[in-house]
Amino acid sequence: MSTETKPPRGEPKLWLSDARGQYIPRDFASSFADRDKSVSGVTPEDWAILDAGPDHEHYWAAWNDVCEHAVITDDNGTEFFIHQEGDCWLIPCGMEWSDAEDFFVWNDDEKDNEDFDERKANDQVE
């Protein structure tokens, strides 16, 4: 049996509660102390529109662009994408939606669990 361990992977982070309503995009924009360090894939124009708030005519289009293109990097180097359906979540890049879990999962976790179950069934694991 290998003693090699997998590197730690990020977990989804609830970033902003849906209680913020129409202000989620604005609050997302203001939630980073150093946007240039933490967020890539967002244009200066989109940041300015989100900062302006929901009365800006392009607010929702800018938020859509941010949700589609932003990559957030935490202090550990884990990269996240945005998922907003009510609450605003940061989801580690590489996680995939699971209908069975009704949330994001690491796709290879399912494979690892299947492999473990198969080895256990064959008495290869204690």
Domain segments of the chain: what residues?
13-93, 94-126
Instruction: Say if CB 21 and CB 87 are below 8 A apart.
Output: no
- The whole-model pTM stands at 0.78
* pLDDT above 90 (res 126): no
- Rounded Cα gap, residues 63 and 52, in angstroms: 12
Cβ neighbours, 10 Å, residue 118: 11
Contact 69, 61 (CB under 8 A): no
Give mean pLDDT, residues 14-27. Answer: 98
Residue 40 has pLDDT above 90, yes or no: yes
- The span from the CA of 92 to the CA of 98, in Å, is 14
Please report, as a single letter, which amino acid is at residue 18.
D
Q: Within its chain, how far is the Cα of 107 from the centroid?
A: 15
CA separation for the pair 30, 39 (Å, rounded): 12
Give the mean pLDDT of 8-29: 95
Kindly report which listed range (8-17, 35-44, 58-67) carries the lowest average pLDDT score.
8-17
Tell me which residue has tokens 């509660």: 17
Could you tell me the two tokens for 87?
A: 């609450």
pLDDT tens for 58-84 read 999 999 999 999 999 999 999 999 999
- For residue 108, what pLDDT is reported? 76
